[in-house]
Every structure is written in C-alpha cells, then in structure tokens.
C-alpha cells in the first residue's frame, strides 16, 4: 500500500497515517511508542515521573494488543481489522488518556490551547489543525478541553461516529 492510499479520508486511514510517522505504510513499534517520547520531551517530564511511567506502560500494553502477531509491524489492514469501540474503551482510551495527563501541567483534567497544541503536535498531527480542533472541543468557550470530552471525540472519530474535532484534526 502506498502513502497516498494510507492518507485517504476515512477515519481509520487518517489515524493510521498519523501514527505512521515515517510514512512507510506500516506502523512500527518505534512509530507508535516514540509518540510517548515526543510528549515526554515536549513536557520536560523526567523518566521517574509517575505519569511517564504510566504512559509508557499503557503505550506498551496498547502496542502489544494492536500487534497481535508480535511481528513489530502493523499494516493498515491489521489496524483496520483490530480497531473498534471495544478496543478503544478497553485499551486505547488508557494509552491516550495517559498522554493527555502528561501534558496537563496542573492536573485539573483539562488542557488549555497551548497544552492541547503541544499534545497534538507531539502525536504527529499538523500544528495548524490544533486550533480548529481545540475550538471544536471547547464548546462552552471556557478556554479548556476536558479529558473526557477529548477522549470521547477521538473515540467517536475512530469508530465512525460524528466527531467535529476528529474531522478538523486528522
């Protein structure tokens, strides 16, 4: 499968392309787990920070679940066959939530626009899309995106439900 195919507009293809950091049409363990490294680096947290330890554990757990045949590679077909609401609720939600927590500097379970942009850029989303995605999630205009709303929007997008944030972000 070429890069053009993986960047098609279906939600799973768009998420897959975002995780395929090097654009080789395969998500490697390095592609997936380096997302944690980028968030840690962006936040300046240390390896002994309990939130970093949790993020690494949840990321490794998610990778093991996605890479069911343990070959260190995830093709789009494997990802597409794997991802669904149950997998999001029981695996991805924890991995993504732990990354959200790394960026949530004051621990209030909400991100301001700068924190949100830091997170989404570290996760390989174009920084230019972060503002529109933030605005789509900040429905009450308080300048914050709540953790639960963020995760619900990603879930909706991945499983094919309406997600204004997902539409502008990925």
54-88 pLDDT, tens digit per residue, is 999 999 999 999 998 999 999 999 999 999 999 99
Q: CB neighbours (10 Å) of residue 146?
A: 18
**Is the pLDDT reported for residue 1 higher than 50?**
no
Pick one of 3.40.190.10, 1.10.238.10, 1.20.120.80, 3.30.70.1230 as the CATH number of 9-165: 1.10.238.10
pLDDT for 170: 59
Summary mean pLDDT of the chain:
88
> Residue 133's pLDDT band (boundaries 50, 70, 90)?
confident
**What pTM does this model have?**
0.88
pLDDT class of 5 with cuts at 50, 70, 90 = very low
Summarize the confidence of residues 140-156 as an average pLDDT.
93
**Is there a contact between 169 and 18 (Cβ–Cβ < 8 Å)?**
no
Of 34 and 130, the one with more pLDDT? 34
Q: What's the per-residue H, E or C state across 105-157?
A: CCCCCEECHHHHHHHHHHCCCCHHHHHHHHHHHCCCCCCCEEHHHHHHHHHHH
Tell me, what's the pLDDT at 7? 41
């Amino acid at each position: 499968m070429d890069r053009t195919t993986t960047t098609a507009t279906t939600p799973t293809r768009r998420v897959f392309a975002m995780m395929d950091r090097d654009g080789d049409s395969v998500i490697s363990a390095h592609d997936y787990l380096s997302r944690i490294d980028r968030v840690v680096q962006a936040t300046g947290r240390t390896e002994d920070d309990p939130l970093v330890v949790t993020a690494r554990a949840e990321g490794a757990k998610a990778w093991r679940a996605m890479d069911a045949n343990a070959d260190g590679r995830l093709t789009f077909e494997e990802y597409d066959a794997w991802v669904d609401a149950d997998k999001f609720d029981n695996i991805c939600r924890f991995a993504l939530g732990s990354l959200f927590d790394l960026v949530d500097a004051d621990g209030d379970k909400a991100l301001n626009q700068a924190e949100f942009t830091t997170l989404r850029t570290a996760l390989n989303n174009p920084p230019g899309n972060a503002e529109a995605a933030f605005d789509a999630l900040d429905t009450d205009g308080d300048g914050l995106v709540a953790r639960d709303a963020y995760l619900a929007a990603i879930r909706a997008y991945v499983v094919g439900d309406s997600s204004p944030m997902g539409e502008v972000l990925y």
